[in-house]
Structure 1
Amino acid sequence: MSGNNKQESATKNDPSNSDSDEEEVFHDARYPAEEEAGLLDQSNTHKFAANKLFSSSRYSEAITTYDRALSFCPNYLDYEIAVLRSNVAACHLKLEDWKAAVDAATASIDRLDKALPPPQTHKESQASLEKGGNDDGGAVVELLDGDGEDESEEAQLKRLRDEDARREDVKRIRAKALMRRARAKMELGGWANLQGAEEDYKALLGMGNLPGQDERAVRKALRELPVRINAAREKEMGEMMGKLKDLGNGILKPFGLSTDNFKFVQDEKTGGYNMSFEK
């Protein structure tokens, strides 16, 4: 039985769980350390096999194998699941399945947000402070005194180094997932997708950890996107207005009228529109 299925079974068989908190319990239920390590080993075995399939350009088979890796990975290991989802997104990009690539990359980013929430923007930090929150973005982490503490100074230093390493890993995978989602949205096109791609590229540029080649690609996309976004907006607005006009003509036709009988003139002073009727 796979890791996620066993977790689900354990949750359903516990009579103390109510429907209202089933999802939370499902995510928080943990295996004993030894069993978790065994499941993670099986997941990694499938992941390495999928990586080889990807390198051999066997992308559909790689997706299936990544899915097997996901089935063994305990559901609460957000970072490990995020890596697998990001890899699945890379496969879909190769297959030019842009929608599936967006979905997989988004699933990866959602997991990374659980593993390590993205840093707040200046505006978000100010809003948090106004609401009584704490702005810990620039806080210095202090070591606890050894007296009376279970954790030695050496153990604290190791834990802090491990936490720093995990933060860097999360940032690296986040950058990959954002790059993959942005590219897929660019390929999908359309006003909303292109705006989403622009937001992802701006987020990437603000992360400050992009390799030179990726940074150049991001800057190039950000130069090109405004023109594409404006064109897509005008096209979609035109299509929407055309549909509204057809609807209006259908309503007005029984009265011998059409939308051409109504003229809208913009008021230069207020920016609003005045409507006039012409026979």
Structure 2
Amino acid sequence: MVHDLDETIKERNIKKMIAHKLGTNTIKFNIKFNEPKYTIVSLDVPEFCIHVTNIPNDVNSDELSTIFKVDIVNILVQPHNELNDHLVENSRIQVEAWIKEIDNEQSTQKLAKEKHGLYLRGFRIQCQDICVTLEIFELCEHFQNETCSYSICCDMKHIQCVEPSTCGNIQRWYGHDSQRTTRSERRSISSEDGYRVRIANFPLKATREEIFKHLPSKFPRIRENLILYNESNPTKLIIAYVIDQKSEIIAKRLIHSWHNQQFLQDQPSKMKCQLEINVENFNSTIGFLMSMAP
């Protein structure tokens, strides 16, 4: 039995990790986490997800959650960008989604086949089961050089290199033991590397101060990464984004804290969250980009 387990990590992940080491032997184990945050040290076990295309430009995670029967935190959306003066046709970003955290490869294939061709608001969605992409920005830089002091409490991914200590590949961004003399040259991270949390359904006249005040978070850097859209247009609902989140685990915690929660106790509206790729917004109709940082 697993106790005090964060919602973003499931018991099956731990079982899979142990089974990878011990094979098919029948085992019994108890795991207890007292810390409120942690990440499992990842092993070389492939993860699978469903890549969803041909969906409405304004698709939301609630719709996809209903179709695929998964928690919205396990749905990653690449938002659509309309054309404007700064883009040409081939620069348009089409909306896509990835359904993650499905039990295994067989379940992923079955679900993709079952939902392929289903109609969503007139769109015949396309589903393909694929391996989950390893994002370099999610890897712990300190673990790469055996200097991470957080161990399983780290919010970044720890993946150990399976090559011997004589490995000379400087493009290997995995962790290495102290015997390795060649260090990886980690590539620079762009502004579009990472995730963002979209928060919608605020009251029409919500102020910046109210939004920050009623988005409680244990992460102090949220304030400097919180931006608002449509703030200058009093006829449009305000949409907030927490941008530049390199850790998917932290982004999921934020969603669990805010999604379907009332923004104000005296108002019935509930906040709606969505996990998105941290892309630049080029839609000129969306409004001004403004940071909450003082």
TM-based fold match above 0.5: no
Structure number with larger C-alpha Rg: 1
- Which one has more relative contact order, counting CA pairs under 8 Å at least 6 apart? 2
Q: Which has the higher helix share?
A: 1
TM-score by length of 2: 0.28
